[in-house]
Structure 1
Amino acid sequence: MELATPVMAYVYGEDEAKDELTLLAAIENSGKQEDTKNADIEISADAQKANGDEEETQDPIAAAGAENVAATATPVWTKQAEVNRDKLLDFDYLVKNFYRIDRTTTIDSSELNPGQLLAKDLTIDTNVGGPVILIYHTHSQEGFVDSDGSEGMTVMGLGDRLTSLLQDTYGIPVLHHRGKYDVDGRDYAYSNAEPEIRQVLADNPTIQVVIDLHRDGVGDDVHLVTDIGGKQTAKIMFFNGLSRTTSTGPIDYLQNPNLQDNLATSLQMQIAAAELYPGFTRPVFLKGYRYNMHMCPKSMLIEVGAQTNTFEEVYNAMDPLANILAYVLLGQSHT
């Protein structure tokens, strides 16, 4: 049967329009609330389990600052729902159910071709003698409603937790880069980050995946949360920059030769999330600019909850997120 999901209103982007340089500063930021909904999916017979057999994690607040948090998730990839692949071939259906396109940009079926994007092999090689995934934070200072000002209760603490899960549970070597690019303001955070991230990639040629981990900025009355395994868990959102705006067309100084791989990565992650954890993700957000996603083909910008979530809620989101990442990157989604 078709799953009707509740509509959640949200506001995206406290400051994302201030990207990299100020040449396009006159373009409006997307500050209005928009209605979102998840994709139509068919629910399997055991969907009610919702991964309820997972063990309880240790206290997230106490563990947040630790660099080597013991992982408690197990690599179980049981589908709770099935996305209709035939319907995905309809561009209008795909956009309506899996994406939210900011008014500052446009995309058509030539770039957003589900057949081509889903056919891309995103499998990683973990036996390369070095880190395979890079996690960093363009906005390292982003915290949550109950954050106490410590680094451990910001997105940096989430990076520690995700690193631990990917390494300890799934055997994927991770480098968690702790650079801070927004301490004095966010206006040039992406420009500040790019040369250092390029150097990290040059120094670690084994890296195959790059994750820029954020939290979103929403209206004060918006609470992005769902229940996974009996735990209140912040929703996440995959994000792509298209290097093109509606008003100016392609942005020549923000070219992205890896755009198709970026789009394939977010779409395959979104489909995996819809099948493993229905309701966990918001629609993939598409916007203009580039957001430094041009530096690696398998680049992801991931928003975990928002400033209205508690740290426990966003911490809980790291377990299903790690499971989804491993499911796709270890090739389980194509088996």
Structure 2
Amino acid sequence: MKKNRWRQGAASVAAAAVLWLAAVCAGSDDLASAAAAVRQSELARCLLQWELADLLPTDSLPLPALLALGQSPQLLAAQEEISRMQAVSPEKTETPAPPDEPVAQDEPQPDGDTAEPAPPLSVVVTDENGYIRVGDVFIKNASRQTLDGIRFDGTFAAAPGDESPQVLILHTHGSEAYTMPAGEEYVDTGSFRTADASVSVIRVGDELARVLSGYGLSVLHDRALYDDPEYNGAYYRAEDAIEEYMAKYPGIRFILDVHRDALEDKAGHQYKVVTREDPDCAQVSLVMGSSWEGWQENLKFAVAVQQHLTESHPTLMRPLTLRNSDYNEYFTTGSLLVEVGAAGNSLDEALKAAHLFGQGLAEVITAKAAQ
């Protein structure tokens, strides 16, 4: 019976492939035009994304389909492009779901979402089920990498130099904003998004820069909007900016890309994430990439920062997430993607979290400088 089902599945895949090829190549006059039509088809990219586990949480394709995908020159040729596509929007940390099942959202939601925020949520992991534990830090490894052989002993490669600036803060998605309490309304450009830098994550970056500067670190804060008016392509535009900054200021050793997360239930209610120590303080999460040589040093730095913060603020940090993309973190070994709060949080809650995170980060960086 299982053998028959396997054959039926293989036949279905083969039939679907034939139908797709027929549809794509319809109207082609010769083999060259047919090949061009296949190359331009979006389905090829979708199939590769499926095989790379980006359209489904696990590799659930039948074995014949996976083998076919793996042997396809067209799909293999597109793998680098798909890896770049993965960096269009950070995939958010998977968190234990409360009773009404909030889910992480990666793309901007339709304009006009005015649903009331859901009750506060403190994301706290206490066991290793689904996580890798390093000291007091829990890591959700959603990448294809292994952490075997990485020595998490508090050491890391990044160190501040004498040249200024030493730290670059920017916002790939600078229009990301927070919920609007009464009296704190802003002009939105989308769902929990605004071009008003005084109430968006750019304001959070201002606070972070202020705290780091107070510890004697030289900070450059890029307050440009790379996701407005168009969300897609923001990482590429931010990447170009980072390249220019690195060429102009070679002393930059730490790059912080500051975002805010978004967690909502099925009804569209936005959750706020808050610490257990202070319900008026948002939680923070780090999202790390692993698609370049040397990513381990960035992860070691992230773990060292999170471990230090957890010792003084046990629930400030949500689990760290490791993913397949690069998120432009490959420029320096001290690059982090920092998500401060979620769409359901208020700006004040996010600012309080940024203040605490900045203090802990500065303490880790200055301690390394003193070594």
Q: What is the TM-score when the length of structure 1 is the normalising length?
A: 0.65
Q: Point out where structure 1 has 5 or more consecutive residues left out of the alignment.
A: 1-16, 37-87, 244-255
User: Structure 2 vs 1, CA of residues 32 and 165 (structure 1 numbering), >3 Å: closer, same or farther?
Assistant: closer
Match of 1:178 in 2: 223
* Aligned with residue 235 of structure 1, among 283, 286, 290: 283
Shifted more, 174-183 versus 132-141: the winner is 174-183
Please say if residues 298 and 335 of structure 2, whose CA atoms lie closer than 8 Å, have aligned partners that are also in contact.
Answer: yes
Which residue, 91, 96, 100 being the options, matches 1:35? 96
Residue 168 of structure 2 aligns with which residue?
134
Q: CA separation in 2, counterparts of 1:191 and 1:174?
A: 23
AA matched with 2:174: S
Deviation by residue 1:100-120 (Cα, 9 ceiling, x = unmatched): 123xx23323364424xx332
Q: Residues 214 and 31 (structure 1 numbering): CA distance in 2 closer, same or farther, change over 3 Å?
A: closer
Please state how far the C-alpha of 1:222 moved relative to its aligned partner. 2.6
Identity over aligned residues, as a percent? 25
Looking at structure 2, the residues matched to 334 and 173 of structure 1 have their Cα atoms a distance apart, in angstroms, of 16
**Residue among 256, 280, 283 paired with 2:316:** 280
Q: Residue in 1 aligned with 2:272? A: 223
What is the match of residue 253 of structure 2? 208
Amino acid at match of 2:317: T
Check if 1:100 corresponds to 2:140.
Answer: yes
Aligned 8 A contact 1:218 1:306 in 2 = yes
Residues 1:194 and 2:236 are matched in the alignment: no
Q: Which residue of 2 aligns with 1:120?
A: 156
Cα distance change on mapping 1:181 and 1:325 into 2, 3 Å: same
Partner of 2:173, secondary structure, is coil
State the SS of the aligned residue for 1:180: coil
Aligned-pair distance for 1:184?
2.6
CA distance in 2, matches of 1:295, 1:269: 19
Q: Where does structure 2 lack aligned partners over 5 or more consecutive residues?
A: 1-53, 56-79, 98-127, 188-195
RMSD: 3.2
Q: Is the 8 A contact 1:242 1:286 kept in 2?
A: yes
Higher strand share: 1
TM-score (norm 2): 0.59
2:82 to 3, 14, 23: 23
How many residues align? The count is 244
Alpha carbons 2:140, 2:321 under 8 Å: kept: yes
Deviation string for 1:2-61 (max 9, x for gaps)? xxxxxxxxxxxxxxx79xx9635699x96895328xxxxxxxxxxxxxxxxxxxxxxxxx
Q: Where does residue 124 of structure 2 map in the other structure?
A: none
- SS of 1:158's partner is helix
Matches of 1:264 and 1:281 in 2, distance apart? 16
State the secondary structure of the residue aligned to 1:99: strand
Q: Deviations over 1:148-191 (max 9, x none)?
A: 13211001111111111211x21111000122211133221111
Q: Is the 8 A contact 1:239 1:266 kept in 2?
A: no
- Bigger Cα Rg: 2
The letter for the 1-side match of 2:281 is T
Tell me by how many angstroms 1:221 deviates. 4.9
